[in-house]
Structure 1
Amino acid sequence: MEELAALLEHTNRSVFLTGKAGTGKTTFLNNFVKKTRKKHIIVAPTGIAAINAGGVTIHSLFAIPSRTFVPTTEPVDPNLAMNINELFPHFKYRKEKLDLFREIELIIIDEVSMLRADLLDMMDHSLRRVRRNQLPFGGVQLLLVGDLYQLPPVVRYYSELILSNYYETP
């Protein structure tokens, strides 16, 4: 695990940390957060996961609406989803949050198995726009933590139908 900590600390490479329950993902995360010098924030897809990880929900940090997002500029039924153009007005952040997004070096996403593809895309759009940087996630390093064999994302039937036009899986 020391190699992983060094990789995260001394590079900008994003990492997916996975393993079965009880393999030490949370222990690694807690130890890394105590030692890192990088400006970081911990987020999770749900409130319980965010509390357990010592972070906040992705929706609250990024001020993302709970509607389904589709990665297109083509018109979509606003009762079912929102497109890129409808998403951008939600990225009007206060100065403190703009400063945070522009200074952040690492975003840790815990319980990534519950993260819907469209939510990850909304984070990407937000960071690229706010940081004025077209690299993935505006150049911010990600640490994705979770076991994909655990809880899947919660997706309503109609959302799954819409998302299936843009994503292989939710």
Structure 2
Amino acid sequence: MQRQQYLQEFIAHTNRNLFLTGKAGTGKTTLLHRIRKHTYKNCVIAAPTGIAALNAGGVTLHSLLQLPLGAFIPDSLAQLPETQSQLFVTPRDFRRHIHLQERKIRLIQAMELLVIDEVSMLRADTLDLVDLLLRSVRRSPLPFGGVQVLFIGDMLQLPPVVKPHEWQVLSQYYPSLFFFHAHVLQKYPP
């Protein structure tokens, strides 16, 4: 209980990103619910998949941020063949792939804490796109647009999923698809 209280205080009084891990049954989801219930921060809970989002009491990252379904290439200069332009998103063209409703924009601008549960399934390219979108909507150069992010998950559970043709391209930019290889976390680790 003391550790949970310490973590809640740390989240409440800092803006640092955190990675909370532990084996199944160690209380990660219970702690997530306590944080949501007791934090004064404007908190949004999300997960990579629908089932994980339901279990956490949140929404999918794709639904929350209206992310495109294509893979994200973190290189503005990437030249894609016309046949692949619908399969991939780059920093140069991501705005035309994202159509946020006004209420989503307000939600993102007000967000102070983003909790991502079951983070073992979150792909590195998706996290880099989340970072780019939050910086853009919040008009902030800070990682994740200044939103504190709490990553929760067990890395020994389900891994991220990628189609072979996506990995063929993404492997040029990432050593693996695990979230911790996202460029934003390589530059600003939790």
- Alignment TM-score > 0.5, same fold: yes
Choose from 16, 24, 29 the match for 1:13. Answer: 16
2:66 paired with 1:59:
no
With normalisation by structure 1, the TM-score equals 0.96
One-letter amino acid of the counterpart of residue 63, structure 1: Q
Aligned to 1:111: 118
Q: CA deviation at 1:80?
A: 4.1
Please, what TM-score do these two structures have when normalized by structure 2?
0.86
Preserved contact between residue 13 and residue 141 of structure 1 (Cα < 8 Å): yes
Among 164, 168, 171, the alignment partner of 1:164 is 171
Q: Extract unaligned runs of 5+ from structure 2.
A: 178-190
Identity %: 50
Contact 1:43–1:55 at 8 Å: present in 2 too? Answer: yes
Distance 1:108 1:162 in 2: 29
Aligned to 1:82: 89
SS of aligned partner of 1:152: coil
CA RMSD of aligned residues (A): 1.1
Tell me the alpha carbon deviations over residues 104-158 of structure 1, each in whole angstroms, 9 at most, x when there is no partner. 1000000000000011011101110011101000000000000011100011111
Q: Which runs of 4+ in 1 moved over 4 A?
A: none
Asked if the contact 1:63–1:90 (Cα under 8 Å) also holds between the matched residues in 2, the reply is no
Counterpart for residue 130 of structure 1: 137
| SS, match of residue 165 in structure 2 | helix
Cα deviation, residue 79, structure 1: 4.8
Letter in 2 for 1:98: I
**1:142 is the counterpart of 2:145:** no
- Aligned-partner SS, 1:84: coil
* Displacement after TM superposition at 1:37 (Å): 0.9
Distance in 2 between the 1:64 and 1:143 partners? Answer: 19
CA distance in 2, matches of 1:153, 1:57: 14
- Following superposition, the deviation at residue 94 of structure 1 comes to 2.4
Cα distance in structure 2, aligned partners of 1:89 and 1:82 = 9
The count of residues paired between Structure 1 and Structure 2 equals 170
- Report the equivalent of 2:37: 34
